Amino acid sequence: MTSGKRALRSETATNLPALRKQHASTPFAVRAGVTDGDLKKRPEADAWARDLANALDRTTHATLARTTFGLSPAALIGAYLDWTAHLAFSPGKQMELAVKAFRKLARLGEQTYRTTVSNKPCDPCITPLPQDRRFAAPEWSRYPYNLIYQSFLLQQQWWHNATTGVDGVTQQHENVVEFASRQLLDVVSPSNFLLTNPVALHRTLETGGGNLFDGFRNFLEDLERTVRKEPPVGTEAFQVGENVAVTPGRVIYRNRLIELIQYEPASGKVRPEPVLIVPAWIMKYYILDLSPGNSLVRHLVGQGFTVFMISWKNPTEEDRDLDMDDYRRLGVLAALDAINAIVPDEKVHATGYCLGGTLLAITAAAMAREGDERLASITLLAAQVDFTEAGELALFINESQVHFLEDLMWQEGYLDSRQMAGAFQLLRSNDLVWSYMVRNYLMGEREPMSDLMAWNADGTRMPYAMHSEYLRQLFLHNDLAEGRFKVEGRPVALGDIRIPIFAVGTERDHVAPWRSVFKIHLMTDTDVTFLLTSGGHNAGIVSEPGRPGRRYQVLTKTERDRHLDSETWHALAPHYEGSWWPEWVGWLSERSGDPVPPPPMGLPPGLPVLADAPGCYVKAP
């Protein structure tokens, strides 16, 4: 036995170099006892495991997103960690905040003394911002409610100081923390509670508690409608095709994404150049054709223009793969082709609202690149082409947030309108959330529904592919402004646009701030007429003549003029009272030919009349 072992060791030692070479060339899997069949199955198993893990993560994120209005908790946590970490290592900022807190307490103490002891009238130690109407009623000036609301405003001011100006915090995180903290403080505003709201208390005493009974009934009614996914109370008074979207017209073209409406002429002659309106598909088109008295479409038709309107289909899960290029081809370009068939050899005044304006700018840039000269002018209504200063809406746009929304849309195939509505309501929570609750649930009142409010409740969905592309390429990476946005495989440049542009911004726009809209001056090398009107993103655009309290500024920069920054423009642009609509109509008229007989409604047999306006796409749930 011993001699045999020695012989084996001797043989092994002799062949050791060969054995080492064989071992080194043998795959690890074979050395570990894994067969060739196992090796072939390993990639398939790994891919299956990755798909399973990815699906599990996305399902979890989507489920969570439904309870957070699509907001990413990770994004919020990251912002607060950045802020708290830098504040913890900023003793100077901490000392400054301590001093501010002491001073505010001293101011409140002095106000308390003057109000309760000296019993002398005195001005408040802090006043609300001009847009804050929560404490405007006379009852808030009486003790102790004057001290209650002033104490709240002092705390709100201190938290603003605490969440801003901390060295080292990224601008995005600072904006998120300041915004989120303000939202949390608004929850505990004294105006939201019966015992600290003197107006609600007075109403309760006056009605013997009847307002609380009515408010509870309103709450149950709203809750029932929310559970049933029904529109708010009062919207049934505004029916599409009956008392809104009633300007006479015909659907003369339809594809899987749009219906094209041609409106009937209101006069014997019209301008030869038609007007094409491209609304945003985040909303239904009839915001520009509300009631007859405030319809922009009816106004244009009445001024002698042939108007065409795109009505977007409300996408479903089947449309999940529709992307921005589909909206360009099946939307704007398809509409232009149909218009050119009805009104041949005439250029088109193209108008885009909000996201529709962004799409129109992309389309116009691609057309200019290809030498397509079918457009006479471009009008952009509250539409952005540069998204670096996109306002408070940009708070919801970062890698974490976009990924979170993508997971939500991946599961359903679209972004539900309720998710979008929740985000927009957060931007104006005092006006759209808390004031609504106080009026409806504490005061027991129902504000009369308007056509604009009913339209706002008639939401639409956003297809997965398009919205993901829009958020990433435009909002997150700003590809359009920086020359990276591709159409048909090649980047487009807004600087290629040479036709005149009319751009409208609104003073109180939370969706497309006017200074962001103003950047069209930097993106193009053509004549730009910029108009700034009073109002917000929707009410500023729907600004019919004769409406009181309307005003605007307007100034034209030619391609030869030097650039004016937004602040200088704001100081120099002339002020006018009234609606901006006549100003725009005059601008279009100057760039149009003499009136001619109106074109036919549709063009049989290629473009027969398919239905009366407003068509069927706008009525689809």
Does residue 614 contact residue 261 with C-beta atoms inside 8 Å? yes
Write phi, then psi, for 576 (nearest 5 degrees): -135, 150
| CA-CA-CA-CA torsion sign (267, 272, 274, 275) | negative
Q: Which two tokens stand for residue 359?
A: 């799409």
Q: Which two tokens stand for residue 381?
A: 């209504």
DSSP states along 334-383: HHHHHHHHHSTT--EEEEEETHHHHHHHHHHHHHHHHT---EEEEEEES-
Q: Which residues contact 292 (CB under 8 A, 6 or more apart)?
A: 246, 247, 298
Write phi, then psi, for 445 (nearest 5 degrees): -110, 155
Choose among 460, 413, 407: nearest CA to 71: 407
Write phi, then psi, for 262 (nearest 5 degrees): -110, 125
Cα(248)–Cα(236) distance, integer angstroms: 22
DSSP states along 222-284: HHHHHHTTPPPTTGGG--BTTTBS-S-EEEEEE-SSEEEEEEPPSSS-B-SS-EEEE--TTS-
Does residue 167 contact residue 86 with C-beta atoms inside 8 Å? yes
Using DSSP bridges, classify how beta strands 348-353 and 275-278 pair: parallel, antiparallel or unpaired.
parallel
Does residue 406 contact residue 65 with C-beta atoms inside 8 Å? no
Cα(607)–Cα(343) distance, integer angstroms: 12
Cα(365)–Cα(491) distance, integer angstroms: 10
Write the burial class of residue 509 (CB in 10 Å: 0-12 exposed, 13-18 middle, 19+ buried): buried
> How many Cα atoms are found within 13 Å in the side-chain-facing hemisphere of 529?
20
Does residue 273 contact residue 307 with C-beta atoms inside 8 Å? no
Q: Annotated catalytic residue: which of 122, 125, 354, 616?
A: 354
E strands, 450-519, in order:
462-463, 486-487, 490-491, 501-506
Cα(528)–Cα(385) distance, integer angstroms: 14
Query: Is 122 a catalytic site residue?
Result: no
What letter represents residue 76's amino acid? L
Write the burial class of residue 376 (CB in 10 Å: 0-12 exposed, 13-18 middle, 19+ buried): buried
Using DSSP bridges, classify how beta strands 375-381 and 348-353 pair: parallel, antiparallel or unpaired.
parallel
Phi-psi region of 33 (alpha: psi -120 to 50; beta: other; left: phi over 0): left
Does residue 536 contact residue 509 with C-beta atoms inside 8 Å? yes
CA distances, 118 to each of 121, 125, 237, 616 (Å)? 9, 16, 55, 69
Choose among 339, 398, 341: nearest CA to 79: 398
CA distances, 451 to each of 287, 310, 318 (Å)? 9, 20, 31
Cα(434)–Cα(529) distance, integer angstroms: 38
Does residue 487 contact residue 366 with C-beta atoms inside 8 Å? yes
Residues catalogued as catalytic: 354
